[in-house]
Amino acid sequence: MRIGNTGLFNMPFRKKVKVRLWYSIAIAVVGFILIALTLLGVFADRINDEFISGFYSGLGGGMMGAGIVTMVKNRRMLRDPERFKAAEIAEKDERTIFVMNKTYVATTYVVMMTVLAGTIISMPFNKTVAMTLLSVLGVYGVALTASYFIIKKRY
């Protein structure tokens, strides 16, 4: 199945904003659940590790906050035609897309080089960390190759 045919990338902007609204609600709910589980002591009782409990409550708080902010932003956008039009132009603007694509390429390169350096440095000290980082590089390599062939077929 071609990605372009799924409609995920070519859907009208209004529909895209509505989908994002639902995603933001889902993210806020997941965040809320994580906080609730932490407050109920689920992580503390089962895992008995304060750091992990703190991690889940922090992640939950972040997800809930981000979800609520995105939800409010998208709702305001849907209700205000001026704001909606400005957001649509900003998102579809070809220079913005060009800049974002360049940014993704540069960021991916920097992150992968960091992971590679991390793998080389950590190998003599901690094999688990090194193998985890190596796995990330492996997944990246497979994803890159697969994406290249899929996208090459489309154009």
Partner 1 sequence: MKNHIAELRKQRRFTQEELASAVGVTRQTIISLESGKYIASLPLAFKLAEFFKTKIESIFEMEEES
User: Where along the sequence are the contacts to partner 1 (CB under 8 A)?
Assistant: 89-90, 92-96, 98
* Residue nearer to partner 1 on the CB measure, 12 or 54: 12
* Residue nearer to partner 1 on the CB measure, 45 or 94: 94
Task: Give whole-number Cα distances, 75 to 22, 63, 84, in Å.
Answer: 10, 18, 10
The least distance separating partner 1 from the CB of residue 19, rounded to whole angstroms, comes to 22
The least distance separating partner 1 from the CB of residue 150, rounded to whole angstroms, comes to 23
Comparing CA positions, the residue from 38, 27, 33, 34 lying closest to residue 65 is 27
Kindly state the greatest CA–CA separation across the chain: 59
Q: What spatial distance separates the first Cα and last Cα of the chain, rounded to whole Å?
A: 15
Per the listing, tokens 């609520």 go with: 68
Task: Give dist(CA 32, CA 88) in Å, integer.
Answer: 30
* Residue nearer to partner 1 on the CB measure, 98 or 109: 98
The least distance separating partner 1 from the CB of residue 5, rounded to whole angstroms, comes to 21
* Residue nearer to partner 1 on the CB measure, 11 or 89: 89
Comparing CA positions, the residue from 106, 29, 104, 98 lying closest to residue 70 is 29
* Residue nearer to partner 1 on the CB measure, 1 or 90: 90
The least distance separating partner 1 from the CB of residue 99, rounded to whole angstroms, comes to 9
The least distance separating partner 1 from the CB of residue 97, rounded to whole angstroms, comes to 10
